[in-house]
Structure 1
Amino acid sequence: MKEQIWTQIEAVRQQSPLVHSITNYVVMNNTANALLAVGASPIMAHAHPEMADMVSIAGALVINIGTLDEYWVKSMMLAIEQANVSGKPWVLDPVGAGATLYRDEVLQQILVQKPSIIRGNASEILALANKNTTQTKGVDSTNASTDAVLAAKQLNEEFGSVVCISGAIDIIVGQGKIIKLSNGHPLMAKVTGMGCTATALTGAFVAVNPQGQFWASVSAMALMGVAGQIAANLAKGPASLQLHFLDTLYQLTQQDFLQYIQVDEYE
């Protein structure tokens, strides 16, 4: 399994997929740099007249609802329509699901279009499945990833999407399998947009493996966790973590990856 994941990391580096992200203002620079560091090519366009053309040339589409407004929502829907028409995989990051009525209404419009992959924290996954009984804390999770496994299974069954629950343990649900990844570091939570970066990387991996959405998700989250863990060991705080994280994504070797990766079937 570990070698299979590394093969996909190498595929991203070799194929340099173009990832079209309709994402939020807060994370654009972070996610673009992370995509470049893993070998992918980012583009972030929002104008309605070019949505169809942009999705047509991209390997995958990433939809991140972090900073919603009406214009961007239409951009998202146009891009999703083109992705579905052209058979391109697309990834949904339901940032802040459950925080506001408007956010939840937009997510319901998006969900019925059946994302290839959904990646969110536990509270967001629970909110998508209408199972979050606690008050949400903005875009932060108030639940552990293990709390959302049943909700992830429900979303997988209802929409056919592979569902990734990120947290101290990352859990990926889909294709009759559940995998857990136990890498990463608590310091990563002190850097804004790390979850959004994970979603962007997922877009790169599914672009090179459009039919293997489950393993694309596992591979992206494995790389994210290992790079974060190595970076945290070198960092003195959140600022230096960002620097070391990008460098690790760029320089990571197979030997180091296989030494650090902790991946198992979820029981």
Structure 2
Amino acid sequence: MNARTDTHLSALSPTAALRALREAPPLVQCITNAVVTNFTANALLAVGAAPAMCDIPGEAGLFSGIADGVLVNLGTPTAEQRDAAREAVRHTSRWVLDPVAVGVLPVRTALAAKLLEHRPAIIRGNASEILALAGEGSGGRGVDATDGTDAAAGAARALALRAGGVVAVSGPVDLVTDGERVVRVHGGDALLTRVTGGGCSLGAVMAALLGVCAPLEAAVAASALYAVASERAGARSEGPGSFAVAFLDALDAVAAAPAELDARVGDAVAAR
């Protein structure tokens, strides 16, 4: 294990987390959706991390033991990727599960259930995906949620306690919980939902932050970063195309000067 991953930030401060990331650029392994590979790699580079799309069986486990954080995204789970994911999660505790479209489709739903046994540090998804993963819903409409964030609050807390990690529910107001505490992150621009890879790359940035801080801090910091960066990009864009480019620029700018991020984070409250 890289020595710098043994020291975690104690304060729930996105600003401190992003500064730590820039000072010690983490290596992030991505076993991810073929549709979003390029955008995800560029998002990681923009925030100051080093991406590695290492998803070949025989290499995935070896690399996950070296990486500072690992993303397992089930967007396009080919047979080879499924084997790579099962291999990778056996060799690290610093990994993020993004259960894309679980509940709706059987192959990825079964795979997600098996991967949960290896206790991801963070589970990131939309409300419908989290409800389905927790066994309390049937999923959304493909990759799109049909449930609101608050509807998944109870399922998110229960799932966090069962999996022993953090659950981050993305929506108009993001909800992040470790089962004991609940934190809400405010802000964002709707154009982020019209760009392929917005949510998937968020999971990758959470994995990057696992290299410098604990799971709750990592999920909250990444969510706050995306809220602010998407607003900046939306303010200077004419539509999804220009937004995608502006968003990468904004990720770089906000990660380099993250002082405003803490204001987007609500108080951590006890889960009920």
Cα RMSD (Å): 2.0
Q: How many residues align?
A: 260
Instruction: Quote how far apart the aligned CAs of 1:258 are.
Output: 1.3
Residue of structure 2 equivalent to 1:80 = 89
1:160-213 Cα deviation digits (max 9, x unpaired) = 12000001110000162111011111111111111101101101111112xx11
> Does 2:187 align with 1:183?
yes
> For residues 145-164 of structure 1, what are the structure 2 equivalents within 5 Å?
145-164=149-168
Q: Distance in 1 between matches of 2:20 and 2:150?
A: 30
2:108 is aligned with what amino acid? R
* Alpha-carbon spacing, 1:165–1:57, altered in 2? closer, same or farther (3 Å): same
Q: Aligned residue for 1:239?
A: 241
Q: How far apart are 1:260 and its partner, in Å?
A: 8.8
| Contact kept in structure 2, 1:2 and 1:263, CA below 8 Å | no
Correspondence 1:41 to 2:45: no
The one of 118, 126, 132 equivalent to 2:123 is 118
* Match of residue 205 from structure 1: 209
1:95-119 deviations in Å (ceiling 9; x for gaps): 0011112221111111111111000
Tell me if the contact between 1:2 and 1:258 (Cα under 8 Å) persists in the aligned partners: no
Aligned partners of 1:175 and 1:214 also within 8 Å? no
Indicate if the aligned counterparts of 2:195 and 2:244 stay in contact, CA closer than 8 A. Answer: yes
Structure 1: distance between partners of 2:27 and 2:39? 16
Could you report, residue by residue, the CA deviation over 1:118-145 in whole angstroms, capped at 9, with x for unpaired residues? 0000000000011115x62001111111
* Equivalent pair of 2:140/2:147 in contact (CA under 8 Å): no
- Asked if 1:194 is matched to 2:203, the reply is no
**Structure 1 pair 169–2 and aligned structure 2 pair: CA distance change class (3 A):** farther
Cα–Cα, structure 1 residues 177 and 98, in superposed 2: closer, same or farther, change >3 Å?
same
Distance (Å, rounded) in 2 between the aligned partners of 1:208 and 1:10 = 10
- One-letter identity of the residue aligned with 1:214: L
Task: Tell me: higher relative CO, structure 1 or 2? Use CA pairs within 8 A at least 6 residues apart.
Answer: 2
The 3-state SS of whatever aligns with 1:208 is: coil
Within 2, Cα distance between the matches of 1:32 and 1:233?
Answer: 24
Instruction: Give the TM-score taking structure 1 as reference length.
Output: 0.92
Deviating above 4 A after TM superposition, structure 1's stretches of 4 or more consecutive aligned residues are: 253-257
Partner SS state of residue 170, structure 1? strand
1:63 maps to which residue?
72
Alignment partners' CA distance in 2, 1:231 and 1:23: 24
Q: Which runs of 5+ in 2 are unaligned?
A: 1-9
Asked whether 1:103 is paired with 2:105, we answer: no
Deviation at 1:252, TM superposition (A): 2.1
Which amino acid in structure 1 is aligned with residue 218 of structure 2?
A: A
Q: Which amino acid aligns with 2:228?
A: V
Query: Deviations 1:1-32 (Å, cap 9, x if unpaired)?
Result: 99821111111111110000100100000010
Structure 1's 253 and 24: CA in aligned 2 closer, same or farther, altered over 3 A? closer
C-alpha contact (below 8 Å) 2:19/2:258 kept by paired residues: no
Contact 1:91 1:115 in 2 (8 A): yes
Please say if residues 97 and 127 of structure 1, whose CA atoms lie closer than 8 Å, have aligned partners that are also in contact.
Answer: yes
Q: Percent identity?
A: 36
Question: Tell me, what secondary structure is at the counterpart of 1:61?
Answer: strand
Residue 19 (structure 2) aligned to one of 10, 13, 25: 10
TM-score for the superposition, normalised by structure 2: 0.90
**Aligned AA for 1:10?**
R
User: For 1:96 and 1:218, how far apart are their aligned partners in 2?
Assistant: 23
Asked if 1:94 is matched to 2:99, the reply is: yes
